[in-house]
Structure 1
Amino acid sequence: MVQKYQSPVRVYKHPFELVMAAYERRFPTCHLIPMFVASDVVNEETSEDGSTIRVERRCALDVDAPRLLKRIAGVDYVYFIQKNTLNRKERTLHIESHNETFSNRVIIHETCCYSVHPENEDWTCFEQSASLDIKSFFGFESTVEKIAMKQYASSIKKGKEIIEFYLRELEDDGITHMPRWSPFSCSLSIPRPTSLITTDSLAEILAGTPEDKLDADYIKRYLGDLTPLQESCLIRLRKWLQETHKGKIPKDEHILRFLRARDFNMDKAREILCQSLTWRKQHQVDYLLETWSSPQVLQDYYTGGWHHHDRDGRPLYILRLGQMDTKGLVRALGEESLLRHVLSINEEGLRRCEENTKVFGRPISCWTCLVDLEGLNMRHLWRPGVKALLRIIEVVEANYPETLGRLLILRAPRVFPVLWTLVSPFIDENTRKKFLIYAGNDYQGPGGLVDYIDKEIIPDFLGGECMCEVPEGGLVPKSMYRTPEELENEDVRLWTETIYQSASIFKGAPHELLIEIIDASSVITWDFDVCKGDVVFNIYHSKRAPQPPRKDPLGTHGITSPGGNNVQLIDKSWTLGQDYSMVESPLTCKEGESVQGSHITRWPGFYILQWKFYNMPACSATNLPRVDDVLATLQVSSHKCKVMYYTEVLGSEDFRFLVGISQYSGITSASISLWLCYGIKL
């Protein structure tokens, strides 16, 4: 398996030329990197005008590996070839490195780049990427991979510190300025240092903003201290999302939570994150805080609410579960309304974490929950209520990982072990480790509540002096109960309350959507996710309306379901180019991709949006398929595809309005495309 690394952008608040002078001091050896024992220049070239300098070095590394492994390998040092290209005119340094030792067994490739900061020409940016591919190594492939990644992570961490060390050394030597290259300067490998020049101090770098996605300072300020490999996972997963989810992607904090939930296993994190993103889009969770209004019965009888913050600055949520009439709430509202309310609490928690990150000046990505169980008894173990609780836990665990920093359970009664036995299997092991359970009044002494919450904000009902606005609860009047039929209808309404539709796609049975256009120059917009399988997206135009949808030919096999319909409009007797025409190039979309786009209609008539099963290209006779390819093809062919989509038609007047705005405000065509895709959602 190929191991990859991608760094964020690291910023030196010094001019490029000064950073280059510091960089050169690393050679031929660097005492700050003990394993870097020697380097020799094997080739050096300079362009005629002196603007470009190419240097090739052979570097020796004393890798920290077990002595037995070195004896088996038969080497003391590992040699690398490093090729540097310094463009003094463009102010860039590109570095490429690869291993010379064991190059037939292990392939290590690294690229680095120093360049001028795009927003401040007196700052220098540094980026780094690398890959490790171990073909074979005397049966020690796993050991070598671990050693290599450990050594590389260590050198990455020291990299910026080393440059800053030599920058301070230059300053101690009286060098604080290096002249920029000009056609008349002498062509030496590094400009000669000038005498001490006093310059105005650079303005302190502004705190990173959420838009500053790749900056290392932003990561440290808003996301926390990550190891180099953890930073790499974040950057790579975000880059993958940018490539596959062509529109709106989640915030870095959100991506990082899913990575942490899977111990920074990128493949596992990507899988659960994509499932969650599809779920959020289908149920419009991003807009829940603006659209969800809690029913009055929840406002009166749901015994939970936000209350200041804990000692770590985390938002504090208090839930008086023992005082809550769970049966009454379920009978009055139904499962879906309760789930919506809990989701709105989680969304509010994310918002408060962002606010506290700004207030306290350090990353705060989770909150603390205090659950008071005084009053908990057997009536809380009512079976439908427990069922609703388990479903809420399941949804929250799947879509809000690593958002709970600590759960304080106070005044746990004797019945609590029964409830814990029921719910604990549905709670992730990492989450369970964050639970602190206190029976009786044990929470009042040392090691209790005051260790986590300031004494001044402990609620009055827990022996503190702070008034808490959390409702006291009580029994929900039976007059508010609804019949099972009413609750079922309400649950169905909330569950299906989404602007997105789902469709199943089978081999030979595409899903097609008909849109009638009256006025030319209207705009058809689409936003769809490929939930399963690979599909091809097409748009066709016809002057005549297709016949009513044919019955799904696969319906007799019981494949269709209410959540995944299949509609076919283009008759098999129709001829492409005669009865209908293609107006957009086919777009192949892989599983997990999110696609947004728009089409400006040229003619009135009928437009057909088609999602078709993607058939893998057939192999030529001279290029026989591999067994793995055949098995993969059979596996894909045996499953249906599924998409979730939303479309909207904008009138020509609305489109002209957007174009007019862009001409005067500098809004890009990409922004217009996003506006068209998301319509009223923006």
Structure 2
Amino acid sequence: MSGRLGDLNEKQSQRLQQFKENVKDVMKAKHDDHTLLRFLRARSFDLKGSEKMFRKLGRHIEGMTYIMDLGRLGLHHLWKPGIDLFNQVITMFEQHYPETLRSVYIIKAPKFFPLAYSLVKPFLQEYTRKKIHVLGSNWKEVLLTQVDEAVLPAFWGGKATDPDGNMTCASKIQMGGDVPKSYYLKDRELSSKNLITKEISRGSMIELKYNVAKPGSVIRYEFKTHDHDIAFGIKRVGAENEKVVIQKTQRYNSHMVPEDGEVILDEPGQYVVKFDNTYSWTKTKTVSFFIELLEPHDIDEDPQYQVDPDKIENLCLYD
């Protein structure tokens, strides 16, 4: 049984009746069986967990549809603290707003999107994953089967505009952009908790080797030194053991500001990440770092996405 109204087994029906009894002191007229079942399904019909969530946040929300325009998504958005924050938001949403997400339509996804999605996917419940639709080149046609053209902004293929004719409906959609420098964090620490710390003697270096099987993989890194600068770079070992520069080795004042970044790897092979202290004749350097290799999952090159043929009334627009 799906656990939805009209499709309950005997145990689920009993749990629904018990749930009503448990929360009757805070129930309101708008809290019908359909709403209560949302909370029960979100906690797999666990009465204690469902009651705790309902008492904390028992508001009635019909549902939301999101359109995510990833036309400006760049590799730098795979910054680990940003991904971690996004996953925290997803977890909070699923825990406190159960069953309110109707559908997510992702448009203009870049080639590396499967890799980016793989970083978020483990934090999504299965019922949430099924509501995510990544649209191909025909995304405008698909959106118009889901959203009335009078509501859909003109720059997404609809007919809605601002009173001044702005096709992006800027009065309704908060557009993205650069983060103001006033919001920058000072004295920032590394975000990863799984740091490796090494001492690099004067005149020496350490090299970390990674075997990459799939093109389009990404090496993501964070590092800081404790007292002095360090040189950092990435190379690929060629067919004849020659070193191909991927990221030029240069010195970083990572004792003042931690360094982080991502490098996309276009070819399979062995890659070498290097922390270089050969230029220093007198000082040993201590470096703390976190480096991970992210490989894209196998995906269907021409996926067929299932969408609900009914028009969706509640539309939340995010860009």
Q: TM-score range by the shorter chain?
A: 0.3 to 0.5
Bigger Rg, which one: 1
Report the TM-score, using the length of structure 2 for normalisation.
0.47
Q: Using CA pairs below 8 Å that are at least 6 residues apart, which structure has the higher relative contact order?
A: 2
Bigger proportion of residues as helix: 1
Normalising by structure 1, what TM-score?
Answer: 0.23
